Amino acid sequence: MAIVQEAGTALWQQHLPADHPFQWPDTDSSSAAPQARVWISPRQRQMSPGEGLPQGQWHPRVLWVGVGCERGTAQALIAQAIEQICGHYGLAVDAIAGLASLELKADEPGLVALCQDHHWPLQLFSSAHLSTIQVPHPSAVVAQAVGTPSVAEAAALAAAQASSAQATTPPLLVPKQVRRQPGVSGAVTLAIAQASREYTGREGHLALVGTGPGSLDQLTPAAKGAITRADVVIGYGLYVDLIRPLLRPGQIVEALPISQERQRARRAIELARWGLSVAVVSSGDCGIYGMAGLVLEHLALSDWDGQTPAVAVYPGITALQAAAARVGAPLMHDFCAISLSDLLTPLAVIEQRLTAAATADFVVALYNPQSQRRTEPLALAHRIFLAHRPGNTPVAIVRAAYRPQETVICTTLDQLLGHPIDMVTVVLIGNRTSRLHQGWMITPRGYL
């Protein structure tokens, strides 16, 4: 199938087979012999039956029609003007995203009724805003009347700009055109600009999903549903691989390398603001050293109103719970989690918290305990705990819990550093009453 795409989202293209001949505009179709053609464009293409191939057109909603009109302009006049002008310029009415005008026109009956009939949004701008937009045909007369030298062209450009991903000025496909009809009241001025992003007509949704420690069994049904419903799934590649069986054909998957958390968060917000339903996946619980906080922080920075895009957080089984379950019941009394990664937290703060937890006799789960490059914090933790707890305090070292390569080691505090510990390991250090029985770790609650 030969595909020519001139506008609209290219996200779907990741589902094309790798060797699919894809034709952007201007490329010659002679390289492959297509058996069908699809045009993705705001332009109306005249299909010639003689071409002999099945053909289809898809019109992404990228056109914003700026409208200026006299008070009381009939709906039919505006409708006819839109149709005629689209026809004249070879544009598809189906590609219209919506109409745009001056705030004053919020109650213009013909305009409002036309938008309702077509399910077109009506974007309204203040004359102050419109007067800041550079247009090819400003008018002193219009400026005198409504406080901006352009309504139709400026509103079309403003609306197209607002729904574009880039900051560059969108193209004005149709400069201002005035239409009136004998015997019909009013006059209408139209202009059409093209947004770089199509209008979805949907309110975006962000699902912040914890996918549990590894195996799909340990994922809540709610989290599974959120992943399957999403238009787009975004996450670190390894976690996306773990949930791959839940993905459905046609879903957009954006797996990004580790360390690109900020980009993942921004991308998720961008797609949700555009109207997509986006699942951001984090292993374990997404709100425990996961993506949930980062996404919410970015939203807060962008003046989010708390409602749009809608956000839902789906909790997951965090590493400390998974590890605890593998060794018994070490978390039966007060506990805390401390990440030993000094990437985002100064080592002095980590040291302070380790000392506080050790002193207060919390059972402690150490996340991000040790990497090849970073061994010092674990040695520090070891020293601090040994200063406050006996050397025979039980310790569990659980690596890759609920994943195929899982290993579980029960040992004691003084032996802690003799075992392999890496970044897929969580370390549980018992409190002063924790004990080991036949390989099971128990922290008494106080009943017995």
- Shortest Cβ distance from residue 283 to ligand SAH (Å)? 5
Determine if 164 is a binding residue for ligand SAH (CB under 6 A).
no
Q: Which of 318, 393, 431, 434 binds ligand SAH (CB under 6 A)?
A: 318
Contact characters 277-316, ligand SAH, x per CB under 6 A: -----xxxx--xxx--------------------------
Of 340, 273, 345, the closest CA to residue 302 belongs to 273
What residues from 340 to 369 belong to the interface with ligand SAH (CB under 6 A)? 367-369
- State phi, psi for 122 to the nearest 5 degrees: -110, 110
Q: Which of 400, 407, 408, 440 binds ligand SAH (CB under 6 A)?
A: 400
- Shortest Cβ distance from residue 381 to ligand SAH (Å)? 13
Determine if 410 is a binding residue for ligand SAH (CB under 6 A).
no
Determine if 395 is a binding residue for ligand SAH (CB under 6 A).
no
- Shortest Cβ distance from residue 380 to ligand SAH (Å)? 16
Determine if 213 is a binding residue for ligand SAH (CB under 6 A).
yes
Determine if 274 is a binding residue for ligand SAH (CB under 6 A).
no
DSSP 361-426: T-EEEEES---SS--HHHHHHHHHHHHHS-TT-EEEEEESTTSTT-EEEEEEGGGGGGS---TTEE
- Shortest Cβ distance from residue 413 to ligand SAH (Å)? 18
CB closer to ligand SAH out of 95 and 427: 427
Identify which range of 11-19, 36-44, 146-154, 319-327 contacts ligand SAH by CB under 6 A: 319-327
- Shortest Cβ distance from residue 313 to ligand SAH (Å)? 12
Decide if 340 contacts 381 (C-beta within 8 A). Answer: yes
| CA dist list (Å): 297 to 211, 265, 269, 287, 410 | 21, 9, 11, 12, 38
Identify which range of 23-31, 147-155, 387-395, 419-427 contacts ligand SAH by CB under 6 A: 419-427
For residue 363 the two structure tokens come to: 């059972």
Number of Cα atoms under 13 Å in the Cβ half of residue 368: 16
- Shortest Cβ distance from residue 37 to ligand SAH (Å)? 47
User: d(Cα 233, Cα 249) in Å, to the nearest integer?
Assistant: 12
DSSP 279-308: EEEESB-TTSSSHHHHHHHHHHHTT--SSS
User: d(Cα 205, Cα 226) in Å, to the nearest integer?
Assistant: 10
Write the single-letter amino acid at 334.
Answer: D
Contact characters 420-439, ligand SAH, x per CB under 6 A: ---xxxx-------------
- Shortest Cβ distance from residue 143 to ligand SAH (Å)? 57
- DSSP annotation of 274 reads T
Contacts of residue 394, Cβ cutoff 8 Å, sequence gap at least 6: 330, 410, 411, 412, 413, 430, 434, 435, 436, 441
Q: Which of 388, 403, 419, 435 binds ligand SAH (CB under 6 A)?
A: 403
The crossing angle, in degrees rounded to 10, of helices 376-388 and 347-359 is: 20
Interface residues with ligand SAH (CB under 6 A)? 213-214, 282-285, 288-290, 318-319, 322-323, 367-369, 398-403, 423-426
